Amino acid sequence: MDILPDLSAAAQQADAALESFVRQYPRLFVLTGAGVSTESGIPDYRDEDGAWKRPQPVTFQSFMGDEAVRRRYWARSLVGWRTMSGARPGPAHAALAALEAAGRVGLLVTQNVDGLHAAAGSRRTIDLHGRLDTVVCMACGARHPRIRLQQELLRRNPAWAALEAGAAPDGDADLEGHDFSAFDVPGCPHCGGGPLKPDVVFFGESVPRDRVQAVRDGLAASDAVLVAGSSLMVYSGLRFVHAAVERGLPVACVNLGCTRGDELFALKVEAACGPALSALVHALDRPRGKNYPGVPGEAG
């Protein structure tokens, strides 16, 4: 008879190790990725081996250099925006907001563009790759709310409103086999026609230097790093883990599957972010016998 390992005991051991890490290093620099938002209905990019689950997202160069690519992007975004705009913070977002409220998070840096950390109540945050709820004109630099663009897209393209498609992680949808050539994309209402782009960092585009510096300043003021829900396959996030190690800061990670930083971690917890981070909040809270807002559970 095969004897299976006691998975519940292993999970408890991992929870205890994460609790010990956070107690030892009370001011955390937190770096999050798509894995913290999957419980909110937003799909992630990669599987547990770090491979792409779908074709790589559009690059900045393609978006800016080809009007047909922009039409295709905004058509897919019109459909996908329903999922993105309707998403609500999940257990991982609530737990990280609770950790900040308890004074344990000095800075939270997210690679996500969904705005769910702010919606959950996290305040000391940097959206490393920007936010999808804003669009920017690439001619004049004016910024506009994404919801207004959605209304204009629907007005110009009413037949697309009824389409159903699977949501994609970057706020668009997996529309295949459609003719995008007649899709009508408005230009910037401020300057009268400049191309509009989501106010996010596309693949092939650089994170603004002032944003990178603000992240580095936050890292310098921290005791340790906690990576949550990121495979670190994108260098814009991985570089801060390397910077932490160079500074002698320990790094813990909560993530399902392999990451590019596995050999750099002092602790790796193979678990979904929601349950693991919620358990962490409860464990840290038990000695005081109270609960943090937004994290359900019994007082200890």
Per-residue pLDDT reduced to its tens digit, 34-88: 999 999 998 866 556 555 546 677 899 999 999 999 999 999 999 989 888 999 9
Residue 146 · residue 179 · CB < 8 Å: no
- In this prediction, residue 10 carries a pLDDT of 78
Residue pair 252/226 in contact (Cβ under 8 Å)? The answer is: yes
How confident is the model at residue 299, as a pLDDT? 34
Query: Which of the residue ranges 135-144, 156-165, 290-299 would you say has the lowest mean pLDDT?
Result: 290-299
Q: What is the rounded CA–CA span in Å between residue 76 and residue 168?
A: 9
Q: For the segment 85-113, what is each residue's pLDDT rounded down to a tens digit? A: 999 999 999 999 999 999 999 999 999 99
Cβ–Cβ under 8 Å, residues 132 and 171 = yes
Say what the pLDDT of residue 43 is.
80
Q: How many residues does the chain have?
A: 300
> Which residue type does 273 have?
C
Identify the active-site residue in 117, 129, 190, 282: 129
For residue range 195-252, list pLDDT tens digits in order. 999 999 998 999 999 999 999 999 999 999 999 999 999 899 999 999 999 999 999 9
List strand residue ranges (DSSP E) for the chain, in order: 28-32, 105-110, 125-127, 130-137, 143-145, 196-200, 224-228, 251-254, 267-269
CA distance 239 to 112: 16
Q: Is 129 marked active-site? A: yes
